[in-house]
Amino acid sequence: MSANRRDFIKFVVVGAVTAGCPVDLSLVAAQGGETHLGGASVDGEDNQVCHQVRDGKVFSRPPASGKHDVVIVGGGVSGLTAAYRLQHRDVLLLEKEPHWGGNAYAMEYDGSTYATGSAFLEVNSEAFHFAKEIGLDPLPVYSPDGSIINGEFVPDTWGDGLNKLPYPPIARDSFKKFKKEMLSIDVEKRGTELYNVPFSSFMKLYAPEIKQWWDTFGPSNWGATSADTAAALGIYTMQEIEASSTADNRYTWPGGLGAITKKLAEILQPHYGERMVTSATTVAVVPGKEDVQVSYMAGGDLKTVSAKAVIMATPKFITRRIVEGLPEKQNRAMQQIRYAPYCVVNLIFNKPVYNKGYDTWCPGNTFTDFIVADWVIRKKSGYQQKYNILSCYTPMKEEERGLLLTEAGARQIAANVLRDFQKLLPETNVDPVEVHIYRRGHPMYMSTPRLYTQVQPLVRQPMDRVFFANTDSEGPESTTNEAIVAARRAVRQAEARLAGAVAKADSRAATIGSREYGYNASV
């Protein structure tokens, strides 16, 4: 596309360079608030308070001005779920952003909803049942993923698509052999070994195109290329792709799993009222003998409240800087978790451009895959696709995080995504009416070897009156489901503490060999 053509497209840069990332404060200060620069607007979060926490600033905490049964820090899906489960308690819920949802957050363009993060859940998972419990009806995707490779669309990549991959026959055979071998591995039996070695060690004898495909799929789903991925997760996912080729087990809503956090906020707000506070950044959680003191910044004021229990639903790279007195081993475990920077670039077209499949993989491009925002409702009777919004998932390398700090850097990524998208197929060489980029600095923990078996069990240990939710407590992969599972565990632990029990170490070993999607409310 010529520079001239691009000049007429409106680029909107939204969202966060998540708190705690190692950046120059002066750059962060420059992007706070709403700025209009040419055709682009920046509506980013203000991370200055969190960066002060990161830099070791000691806030002089005022005395407690209120008391609560439970304070929940973080209003993503995990914190909101905990608040939902604790409606019979006096709960204070604190969220640093001006909106609820964290990484499961949807936005709208002229009435059409699109995802800025989390996309789909799996049938019969806890998230699936929880969505139903709160009154949502998950809609089936029913579309095995295709890929666009060398200018050709290949439907059902790992099914019939294996015969059509536009590679030399030797590479196609290698794909088939790889799949056969991965399906024959008993992950359950070899779990301990497989969670501790990289997935790439299983790819050495195969065509390089296989590694390229998984180095596209992995970063999008779990933040890491095959060299940084626990083999068990990659192999298990191959087995899941095969299982879902007969019955796709994915469900969603237009705009993805932001539907869950939106619904939770709608249910909880009338109930909690002023005890649900957005734009409130927690800066210190200080456990004492009788209570925990939580200090947070809201509207320029620093406040302290006293709680009988605290649930930290924030990611661990922030949590470990806020909670005082963490045992050294647990602190170190939290520090070991790595997070991928990640953008979602939404291309908004005012006519149908691409509706071939729900999620299409595009190895060798700036983005990894893209999703049709209204896929699950587009065939409903009476529905007319006013805008064809394509959400391009654009995970990045850790060392590229700095690019997100400036509007120019974020715009450049969005422009690269658009350039690559327009080269995919002849019909995609069309100009969108707008391009929105939602940037996040640390949204997805990387499913590295040993994380699930050795790091996460340490990370989630309760600390007398402080309990740890958030998806990065559970694993093996960052999902909305695990965020909900983590909330259930933390609520159970907090309830036991409120009833007078002393918090015990979590003796549950990591589930080896399979991700537990089954719904088991008693765990």
Ligand X SMILES: Cc1cc2nc3c(=O)[nH]c(=O)nc-3n(C[C@H](O)[C@H](O)[C@H](O)COP(=O)(O)OP(=O)(O)OC[C@H]3O[C@@H](n4cnc5c(N)ncnc54)[C@H](O)[C@@H]3O)c2cc1C
Q: Site residues (CB under 6 A) for ligand X?
A: 19, 50, 73-79, 94-97, 102-104, 117-121, 257, 281-282, 313-315, 318, 322, 342, 344, 393, 440, 443-444, 470-471, 478-481, 483
CB nearer to ligand X: pick between 202 and 395: 395
Token couple for 311: 């649930």
DSSP letters for 377-429: GTTSTT---S-EEEEEEEE--GGGGGGGGSHHHHHHHHHHHHHHHHTTSGGG-
CB nearer to ligand X: pick between 102 and 457: 102
CB nearer to ligand X: pick between 75 and 218: 75
List all residues 6 or more positions away from 285 whose beta carbon is below 8 Å from its beta carbon.
Answer: 73, 292, 293, 294, 295, 310, 312, 322, 323, 324, 466
- The helix (run of H) or strand (run of E) holding residue 93 is strand 91-94
Q: How far is the CB of 523 from ligand X (least distance, A)?
A: 17
Rounded to whole angstroms, the Cα distance separating 409 from 415 reads 10
Eight-state DSSP code of residue 434 = E
Rounded to whole angstroms, the Cα distance separating 91 from 276 reads 8
Q: Is the peptide bond before 432 cis (omega within 30 degrees of 0)?
A: no
Residue type, 397: K
As to burial, measured by CB atoms within 10 angstroms (0-12 exposed, 13-18 middle, 19+ buried), residue 171 is middle
Block residue for tokens 């009988």: 308
Burial readout 25-41 (b: 16 or more C-beta within 10 A, e: otherwise): eeebeebeeeeeeeebe
Rounded to whole angstroms, the Cα distance separating 138 from 118 reads 14
CB nearer to ligand X: pick between 268 and 483: 483
Q: How far is the CB of 310 from ligand X (least distance, A)?
A: 12
CB nearer to ligand X: pick between 165 and 347: 347
DSSP letters for 494-519: HHHHHTTPPPPP--PPP--SS---S-
Rounded to whole angstroms, the Cα distance separating 451 from 438 reads 27
Q: How far is the CB of 96 from ligand X (least distance, A)?
A: 4
CB nearer to ligand X: pick between 174 and 252: 252
Q: Answer for the pair 47, 25: CB distance below 8 angstroms, yes or no.
A: no
CB nearer to ligand X: pick between 323 and 405: 323
Q: How far is the CB of 261 from ligand X (least distance, A)?
A: 8
CB nearer to ligand X: pick between 407 and 477: 477
Rounded to whole angstroms, the Cα distance separating 199 from 222 reads 13
CB nearer to ligand X: pick between 165 and 259: 259
CB nearer to ligand X: pick between 207 and 483: 483
Q: How far is the CB of 285 from ligand X (least distance, A)?
A: 9
Cα 342 to chain centroid distance, Å, stands at 9
Q: How far is the CB of 41 from ligand X (least distance, A)?
A: 21
